[in-house]
Structure 1
Amino acid sequence: MDTLIIGIDGGEWDVIDPMLESQELPNLSSLIQSGYRAPLSSTVPPVSPPAWTSIQTGTNPGKHGIYDFSTFDRDYRRRSINASDRRATPFWQVLNDMGVSTGLFKVPFTYPPGDIDGFMVSGFPTPNNISDFAIPEGAANIVGSPERLFEDSSYQRNGDYDAFMSDLLDVADRQTSILLNLLDEYDTDLVMTVFDSADRMQHFFWKYFDEAHPRYEPDEALSDAIPELYRVIDDGIGKLLNRAGPETNVIVLSDHGFGPLAYDIHIDEWLQANEYFSPQSTRSPREVISMASSRMVGLSWELIKSLGLDDLVKEIILPETVLSAGKSLKNAPQNRKSADWKNTKAFFTTLSGQSIYINLIDRFSDGIVSDEEYQQVVDDLRSELLELRHPETGEKLIRAVYDSRREFDGWAVEDAPDLIVESDPLYTLKDGHSDSLIQPSKQYKQERSGDHRTDGILIASGPAFGEGKLADAHIMDIAPTLHYLHDCPIPKVMDGDVLSSVFADEIIHSREMQFTGGYGEMERNSRNGLRRKNKS
């Protein structure tokens, strides 16, 4: 193994640094002392789907086309995205073409897995009831059920935070064990894994950890949940370092940082009051049936799991055709919510996306905004959002509103939501009806007390790297840096730069930076993943 990349989803220096000072993270400490550290800037917004995809491709979302966990079709139906929606080439495909073998384990947004020289076990979000989550087949046999890779979210939804904490810790510990078993079987030049439990833990346990949180709640067990997870991850890093050996170059990174969250801004209420969004008073029969069916399927599966019958149902009672149908149903388009689209100029996307679509005639089936009106609607909405204030304190709630046509560049910009909103760090936008604009932050009816920050973490340590601190780096810099690390040409299509400052002098003086064309836009292919266009 020449290179080991370890991702910590939501890894945050404000959590790590105090633990380094108290000597609780010996393996991260060792890597930092013998290498480089830096803040790592994320995408706009700093959310996992676009961020991890920019890490994978070295491109901005305007090229890779991933903006959120889901997207909307012309009829306002929402569907989940996966790796087949990626429209730029990930670094491992390019490295494979150049003779570098790669092993990926739990890297987010790699389902369904594609051809690879090495092995791939797909990461979040991977459906539970499928068998095509890993290649080659032997890798799937080592893992077992994909449910072993991820936490049981029903604990959080039901408010059982002790069980949720225990489950997240178990998932992180088990992740290291499974990866070590995979490394016994597969020898690749580069290995990448991502500990995604950190994101979930910090979303829901931040108020127990942070005494400065507006809703801080002391709890002897839960207050140590976040630090304990970092300890488990650090222990896993130590085991992986022992397996890799001292000659391996190691990169530790996160897709975004983390910090406290206290309040939801119910933006639909504001959009309605300002005549941008018009809710529909009654749902259509089709919408009612669709919502009821979706909820019944979800509740039924949670009940089956709670009774310990999920394996029996999957392996004995349900034939493969039914499981395939269930997988298709899960990824099928679903109505976002009812709306009077003929009187709606703009609508909010999702809690994760923090974005707004303009209801364009050319984009949506019931669009009402013409191309000629578009820029005026965008400008008006943007300026009004920037003046949004707390109804009681008068404080400004919105830090920035980004126009995607100016923020992004590439062939997939037209798929982007029109505006992306950055709120005050203690606030986040949320859809749905509310009795007031501002409410305590919740998700699945449970408190949500932590949220993403733009700056994540970066550590680079090993024979190829020097020592010191880097003022800043961007997640788009990771892929071109990996190409340079492996002495491979860098695709010209990449937007990031090689982080040349982190390399040892002998590497910089002896290794020329090379570039290549041929890795441009990739088309969607619903049956076979992605196919590359013949363009540079």
Structure 2
Amino acid sequence: MHAMPVVAPRPCARVALLGLDGLSLDIARAIAAFGRTPHLAALCQDPRTTTVDAELPELSPVNWTSLATGEGPEVHGVYGFTRINPATYAITIGDSRQVRLPTIFDQLTRHGRVCRVLNLPGLWPVRPRSGMPDTPSTLIAGFIAPSLEDAVHPPALVGELRRAGYRIEADTLRGAADPAYLLAQLRETLRGRRLLLQRFLAPGDFHCLCCVFTETDRLFHFLLPAVLEADHPWHPACLAFLEEWDAAVGLFFRMAKALPGETRILVMADHGFAPLHTEFDVNAWLRSQGLLLQEERPAASSGNGLDAGTIRHGAAAFALDPGRIHLHRRDIYARGSVTPTQEPALLERIRTGLLALRWNGQPVMEDVFLGRDLYPGDHSPDRPDLVCLSRPGVDLKAKWDRRELFGLYGRHGMHTARGAIFYDSLGQTPPRRMREVGRLLLESGQAGGLLT
């Protein structure tokens, strides 16, 4: 693991971090301008509030894992929601077993620090660590945990959370087409986040607390126009929910400030957000260029977003969500055909082609990065060869059965790499990107004084 820089923050009794998934500072200011969210307005107006960049690709598992480890994808190994098996072409959803190194919470716990990690995405399954059964630290995994089993440490908390009706995640599959249902689900998960604050923040018996509210990300994906447009028919309902969310943010601040001794308070988002005007499918483009060759499947078997088994011998490249392009190398993939001598020209062809793309007269891509430059030192098959960063408004996808390059498919908000909100009560020089927030959290947890 890389050596972490030593920073000497002002001594505090503890550090408490509130993660607000997907909250960009510009959208926070737009919401605050409606006059219904006083705690968010105060945060936006505070001179200590600024922004932080996401790690690329700007996905939640990549960035929450960077927070949790203090490292980038080239070290922790998480490049997206999914990964592909080079031998079988099976695509699986990643989880904590993919993470290559201990988290900052493992490190703090090992050195006798008490951690409260609440609803952190990517933490499932909660893995038993050396010494953890004998510590009072708490770990509660967030998305994509399918159930409370294997998502909670100590295990005795499972029953307590189940009796309280704690819900890990909103049902966005149904909620995508049913705004009333989505808002009801978000209220239910928000109630659980408040329960966690009251149970674990209020006592103050910790050195490091990290609690994540994921509700804004889900709301923005499906109802961002309703949030931002006062004349939208769902705007009143969205603002009513955000009033409740704002009250939970205020509860976090009140509880943290009321603890004995000084508590360093951090607030951050894992990525920014922007209105989505169109999706662009990278695999559809590779197909149109003759670079992705696939076996035809019956219509009844289409729609499987995890079906990469259709990739044929002779395919030169494919993409994984959102815009991670892998060359179909002979020495890595069972049906691969690309040789080392073909790689430079192929990478240049794909990169140049994508940078030349236009939609409504505007570039589709802000940039296309070489994986070896973006993630130095990682030579594993998980590292993409190219990483696309789209222009805000164009949301990248990589489906296996989509033929159209552009289109809308039910989402109205998208992640952005820049503009995520960041606040530090000590007002120190802000971190540049997500891994540095994790290092800051580690350093603050190490510096924490005696518990009172």
Structure with max Cα Rg: 1
Distance 2:379 2:195 in 1: 39
User: Does the CA-based 8 Å contact 1:149-1:171 persist in structure 2?
Assistant: yes
Runs of at least 5 residues in structure 1 that lack an aligned partner in the other structure: 212-216, 296-333, 490-506, 508-536
Where in structure 2 are the equivalents of 1:365-380 lying within 5 Å?
Answer: 365-380=334-349
Distance 1:18 1:166 in 2: 23
Given the alignment, which residue of 313, 328, 339 partners 2:310? 339
CA deviations over 1:17-57 (Å, ceiling 9, x no partner): 24445554333455566772111100111110111111111
Distance 2:81 2:270 in 1: 14
Q: 1:210 to 1:401 in 2, by over 3 A?
A: same
Distance 1:110 1:433 in 2: 31
Given the alignment, which residue of 89, 110, 113 partners 1:97? 110
Q: Does residue 362 of structure 2 align to residue 395 of structure 1?
A: yes
CA deviations over 1:355-403 (Å, ceiling 9, x no partner): 111101111100010122122211211111111233xx44322221111
Describe the SS at the equivalent of 1:341.
coil
CA deviations over 1:166-199 (Å, ceiling 9, x no partner): 2112311332124413457893222111001111
Distance 2:387 2:340 in 1: 20
Q: Which residue of 2 aligns with 1:449?
A: 412
Q: Does residue 187 of structure 2 align to residue 180 of structure 1?
A: no
Distance 1:488 1:181 in 2: 24
Distance 1:367 1:152 in 2: 38
**Offset at residue 339 of structure 1 (A):** 2.8
Q: Does residue 442 of structure 2 align to residue 475 of structure 1?
A: no
Q: Partner letter of residue 357 of structure 1? A: H
**Offset at residue 164 of structure 1 (A):** 1.0
Q: Does residue 439 of structure 2 align to residue 426 of structure 1?
A: no
Distance 1:15 1:481 in 2: 25
Distance 2:76 2:65 in 1: 7
- Aligned-CA RMSD value: 3.0
Q: Does residue 426 of structure 2 align to residue 458 of structure 1?
A: no
Distance 1:472 1:133 in 2: 29
Where in structure 2 are the equivalents of 1:519-534 lying within 5 Å?
Answer: none
TM-score (norm 2): 0.85
Q: Does residue 232 of structure 2 align to residue 219 of structure 1?
A: yes
Q: Which residue of 1 aligns with 2:375?
A: 408
Q: Which residue of 1 aligns with 2:25?
A: 13
Q: Partner letter of residue 389 of structure 1? A: R
Describe the SS at the equivalent of 2:294.
coil
**Offset at residue 154 of structure 1 (A):** 3.8
Q: Partner letter of residue 153 of structure 1? A: T
Q: Which residue of 2 aligns with 1:322?
A: none
Describe the SS at the equivalent of 2:243.
helix
Q: Which residue of 2 aligns with 1:382?
A: 351
User: Does the CA-based 8 Å contact 1:266-1:433 persist in structure 2?
Assistant: no
Runs of at least 5 residues in structure 2 that lack an aligned partner in the other structure: 1-12
Distance 2:155 2:283 in 1: 46
Q: Which residue of 2 aligns with 1:123?
A: 142
Given the alignment, which residue of 221, 227, 232 partners 1:209? 227
Q: By percentage of residues, which structure has more helix?
A: 1
Distance 1:57 1:125 in 2: 18
Q: Does residue 406 of structure 2 align to residue 438 of structure 1?
A: yes
Distance 1:14 1:195 in 2: 18
Given the alignment, which residue of 337, 349, 353 partners 2:320? 349
CA deviations over 1:332-357 (Å, ceiling 9, x no partner): xx95245351121011212xx32111
Q: Which residue of 2 aligns with 1:484?
A: 443
Identity %: 22
Given the alignment, which residue of 11, 14, 25 partners 1:2? 14
Where in structure 2 are the equivalents of 1:240-389 lying within 5 Å?
Answer: 240-244=252-256, 245=258, 247-282=262-297, 336-350=307-321, 353-389=322-358
Q: Does residue 122 of structure 2 align to residue 106 of structure 1?
A: no
Given the alignment, which residue of 86, 99, 116 partners 2:99? 86
Describe the SS at the equivalent of 1:205.
helix
Describe the SS at the equivalent of 1:131.
coil
CA deviations over 1:242-300 (Å, ceiling 9, x no partner): 333253221110000111002122333321221101121246xxx98xx69x98xxxxx
Q: Partner letter of residue 434 of structure 2? A: I
Task: Give the total of aligned pairs.
Answer: 424
User: Does the CA-based 8 Å contact 2:126-2:141 persist in structure 1?
Assistant: yes
**Offset at residue 414 of structure 1 (A):** 4.2
Q: Partner letter of residue 388 of structure 2? A: V
Describe the SS at the equivalent of 2:334.
coil
Q: 1:34 to 1:186 in 2, by over 3 A?
A: closer
Distance 2:267 2:57 in 1: 21
Distance 1:91 1:345 in 2: 39
CA deviations over 1:433-476 (Å, ceiling 9, x no partner): 4564322x21xxxx201001112011111xxx148xx6762111
Q: 1:394 to 1:339 in 2, by over 3 A?
A: farther
User: Does the CA-based 8 Å contact 1:35-1:459 persist in structure 2?
Assistant: no
User: Does the CA-based 8 Å contact 2:89-2:309 persist in structure 1?
Assistant: no
TM-score (norm 1): 0.72
Q: Partner letter of residue 348 of structure 1? A: A
Distance 1:178 1:488 in 2: 24
Where in structure 2 are the equivalents of 1:140-151 lying within 5 Å?
Answer: 140-144=158-162, 148-151=167-170
Distance 1:348 1:225 in 2: 38
Distance 1:248 1:60 in 2: 27
User: Does the CA-based 8 Å contact 1:202-1:226 persist in structure 2?
Assistant: no
Distance 1:40 1:252 in 2: 11
User: Does the CA-based 8 Å contact 1:38-1:472 persist in structure 2?
Assistant: no
Q: Partner letter of residue 458 of structure 1? A: F
Q: Which residue of 2 aligns with 1:528?
A: none
Q: Partner letter of residue 82 of structure 2? A: S
Q: 1:479 to 1:412 in 2, by over 3 A?
A: farther
